[in-house]
Every structure is written in C-alpha cells, then in structure tokens.
C-alpha cells in the first residue's frame, strides 16, 4: 500500500494511524510511481479540489496496470446547491480560508475517464439518511452559518431539501486490458 497527499499535515496524521505504510508528499498530477506500477488506485474526496479532472485521471491511468481498478469518491454536485462552502483553517497563521472547489456533473467524470480507456464498472450515489422533523431531536442537517441559520427555524423545509439527497458519488472504473498506445492503428 502506498499513500500520497499534498498536505504534510495530512500525511503526519496518516503515518500515526498506519506506521507501516509508505507515504509520499506529492501532487495528484505527478504521482511518485513508475508507469504500470499498481493494480488499484483509490482517490477519496479529493477531486473536487482539482481544477483539471482529465489531467489527474490521465496520471491515474499512467500508474495503473492494464486491467487495474480506479475507485473514486467525491462530493456530489447536489451538495454544492444544498450547503455553503465553509471556511477551513490552512497554514500556520490559522486564518480561515476557502479551498477551491470544483463541483462537477457526473458526466464530467465520464468525459475525462472514457477517452483514457477506463470502463465504468459501478457508480453509486450514497444518500443522506432521512431525519426526524422534530427540531428538538433532529440532528443538525448542516453547520449553521449565515442564512443557513434559517434551517433551524423551518425544519420541514430543511428536511425536504436535504433528506435523502445524494451526498457523494462513488465510481469504480477499470482500465482497459490493452492500453491505447498498445492498440494497433485503425484505418478509418
């Protein structure tokens, strides 16, 4: 198992939990692996912060062996409509800042993956569980910031908008057994 992250802080946390795993500080656009090096790539909740999806998927295809699997989880496009983008802490100064987020329709993943020789094996859209409408017992549907405070005043509207909505998309792609570069030229 090999772990890759661009954040030294996240790598430090990962090393604490998994001391026997090799971790590398690197960008998703330049993985520190040779071509055809791994059987499976798992990318969890990171692609929403990448502006060029196709370039990262091309890097995943480069390091995967033919027939290898790519499993991606990412925030669902609907999440961008249902919750505000929240400030997160970054850097040593502790100042809040927004991470860039790129909310994509499901078709964007297909448009980036299929030309690289990936085939869809499965796509799931996990949903938020239904909550009670009783404001005293219902869990907070979202952090209460700015106008989102209104969600507590009208739990029926909150439940209608948020309950049972997709919160993520999980893709399982498989790389063709024959890479495009290895395929014979076709005459059209």
Share of the chain above pLDDT 90, in %: 46
Phi, psi of 182 (to 5 degrees): -90, -10
**What is residue 131's predicted lDDT score, i.e. its pLDDT?**
54
pLDDT in tens, 52-94: 999 999 999 999 999 999 999 998 776 665 555 554 555 556 6
Higher pLDDT, 150 or 26: 26
Whether this prediction's pTM lies above 0.85 is answered by no
> What is the Cα–Cα distance from 96 to 91, expressed in whole angstroms?
9
Token look-up 């890479």 returns 179
Domain boundaries, the chain: 33-127+166-180, 130-164
Residue 8's region, left for phi above 0, alpha for psi from -120 to 50, else beta, is: alpha
Mean pLDDT of 151-163: 60
**What is residue 18's predicted lDDT score, i.e. its pLDDT?**
94
Mean pLDDT of 139-152: 46
pLDDT in tens, 3-28: 999 889 989 999 999 999 999 999 99
User: Where does 33-127+166-180 sit in CATH, by number?
Assistant: 3.40.50.150
């Amino acid at each position: 198992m090999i772990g890759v992250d661009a954040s030294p802080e996240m790598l430090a946390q990962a090393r604490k939990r998994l001391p026997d795993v090799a971790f590398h500080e690197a960008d998703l656009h330049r993985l520190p692996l040779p071509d055809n090096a791994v059987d499976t790539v798992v990318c969890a909740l990171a692609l929403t912060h990448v502006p060029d999806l196709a370039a990262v998927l091309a890097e995943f295809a480069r390091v995967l062996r033919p027939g290898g699997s790519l499993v991606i989880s990412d925030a669902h496009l609907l999440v961008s409509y249902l919750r505000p983008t929240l400030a997160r802490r970054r850097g040593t100064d502790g100042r809040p800042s927004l991470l860039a987020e790129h909310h994509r329709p499901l078709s964007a993943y297909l448009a980036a993956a299929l030309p690289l020789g990936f085939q869809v094996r499965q796509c799931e859209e996990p949903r938020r569980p239904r909550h009670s409408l009783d404001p005293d017992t219902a869990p907070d549907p979202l952090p209460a910031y700015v106008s989102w405070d209104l969600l507590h005043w009208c739990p029926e509207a909150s439940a209608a908008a948020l309950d049972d909505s997709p919160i993520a998309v999980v893709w399982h792609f498989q790389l063709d057994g024959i890479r495009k570069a290895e395929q014979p030229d076709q005459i059209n």
